[in-house]
A and B are shown apart, each in its own frame.
Chain A
Amino acid sequence: MSIETGAPAQIEVVGLRKVFPLSGGGEFAALDDISLKINKGEIYGIIGMSGAGKSTLIRCMNRLETPTDGKILIDGQDVLTMNQKQLNMMRRKMSMIFQQFNLQMQKTVGRNVRYPLEIAGVPKHKANQRVKELLKIVGLEAKEDAYPAQLSGGQKQRVAIARALASNPEVLLCDEATSALDPMTTQSILALLQDINKRLGITVVIITHEMAVIRQVCTRVAILDGGKIAEEGTVDEVFVHTRSAAGKRLFGIIADQENSSDEKLTIPALRIVFDDENAQKPIIATLIRELGVDVNILAADVKRIGEKSYGQMLIAMPEDLESRKKTMDYLKEQGLTVKEVYPQ
């Protein structure tokens, strides 16, 4: 696992384990020796299938869940050795938003957002003023007196975000924050999170099972599988050069297609993986024109990740060895990843 050095760590997890006793005796390790470092000011994604332990991991960070073993350092301070008072102070610097929003249903939007200020003892007039500022950030100034039941899912999550920002946190933990929202709303919430990260410099940790979420906003990502980190790195890196099986399973369309097209393969083929730079070049055209190779495209797919495109293409493997070699050499020269794949 690559842990970058240089940027100061906001959150450092070292050898974290969380074991649940099983009812029939024995135990289940929800988290098994997890180590990772989240830098100040980045948007860090943790992705995994349900049951991979990602929720447990993020809940350990603010000790909603007590780990069995290991260390969690927030700004260098170990969360696990804190007493309740220190923990409460730390939690005010590390807010959380949830899949089900978890707003108080009997309080107005304004009072929900004011809650963190109330418990911190902020004077009323100051708190009220801050509530208005916060609601403005999330674009809900008009809803201060509404009750959560009158809002849409996306609006509720915006209120939850405003509430999370009230205490001027350094970290925002997002536990499946967009999973209960439709794709359009997900986009707008992600854009808001990105905006908050940029404007306020808040470190954001996102837990999700949707690759699209990671692709859209995260700088780095860890793939969690069976309580272990299967893979970690920058989003570009992990997405283009997926190594782990868990990563391939999660990467939606490309990985799916990779697998399914491999399964359907009846003849030997070449898989070409390209990224932004060479996606712009007319590689196949050049291949046909200049090398005189017949190209038979079996499958192709292009994905946009943020500002960049990534894709893969399956072409039938040229039958004579010479043109096969020529083709592969040429593609490699162009900086593409080429792999021979055979029918299974």
Chain B
Amino acid sequence: MNAAEIFQLIWVAFLETLYMTIPASLIAYVLGLPLGVLLVITRKDGIKPVPTFNTVLGAVVNLLRSIPFVILLAMLFPVTRIVMGTAIGTKSVIFPLVISAFPYVARMVESSLIDVDRGIIEAAQSMGSTTWQIVYKVLLPEAMPSLINGAAICVTTILAYTAMASTAGGGGLGSLAIIKGLNLRKYDIMYVASIVLVILVQLITVSGTKLTRRLDHRIR
């Protein structure tokens, strides 16, 4: 196999990886962000305390988080078939990715928001803010650098999960490395695919850190 052919394989797999990672990350955030907010504001010492709800929500999130992705992928086959139309292939993997990632996102968001100075929230309360105003005008803006940093971690985690897509007949760099590389003993493909994955993770992490620092006005 010549370099051009390898490049072609890698390029397609790279696109497939993005095709799984980007929508899965976005949808995981659409679900996980409000969930993380709920986890914070409904705490006993939160701005809208609903302790029982908070405990139940926390337990559900933990339960989902504790199932390893490969197992979840298999367990979800029937549901995935209903939701995505098929349980096999690159596109179908987006669904289990979302299910696996959104609780993770929720916890990540929670830990970012919990770090917001209590005093700042109290000041907002003392000014007559509604709960919603505190969430989108105080909590989220104040936690923004930390949220961005968390997002970079979440995306790299989802990216790592996509490597297991081969289990469900999905593509991407991970599948390429395992099926073409490992199973067919084309180690060059395995290494190149892995290196591209490493670079991708580095890129996300570094830009996440840079953005975090640029957005944070606490240090200057």
Partner of A92, one of B127, B137, B138: B127
The verdict on A186 contacting chain B, using a C-beta distance below 8 Å, is no
Collect the chain B residues with CB atoms within 8 Å of residue A89's CB: 128
The answer to whether A102 and B119 have CB atoms under 8 Å apart is yes
Question: Which size class do B's interface residues fall under?
Answer: 20 to 34
A215 to chain B, nearest CB (A): 27
B88 to chain A, nearest CB (A): 45
**Contact A106:B129 (CB < 8 A) given known A64-B122, A98-B123, A115-B124:** no
The verdict on B207 contacting chain A, using a C-beta distance below 8 Å, is no
Collect the chain A residues with CB atoms within 8 Å of residue B129's CB: 88, 119
Question: Which size class do A's interface residues fall under?
Answer: 20 to 34
In the assembled complex, the Cα of A91 lies from the Cα of B117 at a distance in Å of 20
The answer to whether B127 and A106 have CB atoms under 8 Å apart is no
B112 to chain A, nearest CB (A): 12
B163 to chain A, nearest CB (A): 35
Collect the chain B residues with CB atoms within 8 Å of residue A106's CB: 141-142, 144-145, 215-218
A112 to chain B, nearest CB (A): 10
The verdict on B219 contacting chain A, using a C-beta distance below 8 Å, is yes
A227 to chain B, nearest CB (A): 22
**Contact A102:B217 (CB < 8 A) given known A88-B129, A118-B137:** no
Collect the chain B residues with CB atoms within 8 Å of residue A90's CB: 128
The answer to whether A96 and B126 have CB atoms under 8 Å apart is yes
Q: Name the residue on A nearest B132 (C-beta).
A: A119
Collect the chain A residues with CB atoms within 8 Å of residue B124's CB: 115
The answer to whether B127 and A95 have CB atoms under 8 Å apart is yes
Partner of B217, one of A95, A105, A116: A105
In the assembled complex, the Cα of A120 lies from the Cα of B127 at a distance in Å of 10
The answer to whether B117 and A64 have CB atoms under 8 Å apart is no
Proximity bits, A83-125, B CB within 8 Å = 1, else 0: 0100111111001101010111111000000011011100000
Proximity bits, A160-179, B CB within 8 Å = 1, else 0: 10010001000001000000
B144 to chain A, nearest CB (A): 6
Collect the chain B residues with CB atoms within 8 Å of residue A62's CB: 126
Partner of B130, one of A104, A119, A149: A119
Q: Name the residue on B nearest A90 (C-beta).
A: B128
Partner of A104, one of B138, B219, B220: B138
21 contacts between A and B (CB under 8 A): A64-B122, A88-B128, A88-B129, A90-B128, A91-B126, A91-B127, A91-B128, A98-B123, A102-B119, A104-B138, A105-B120, A105-B217, A106-B142, A106-B144, A116-B128, A119-B128, A119-B129, A119-B137, A148-B217, A163-B127, A173-B126
Which residues of chain A have a CB within 8 Å of any CB of chain B?
62, 64, 84, 87-92, 95-96, 98, 100, 102-107, 115-116, 118-120, 147-150, 160, 163, 167, 173
Known: A105-B117, A119-B129, A150-B220. 8 other contacts (CB 8 A): A64-B126, A96-B126, A106-B145, A106-B215, A106-B218, A116-B128, A119-B133, A149-B217
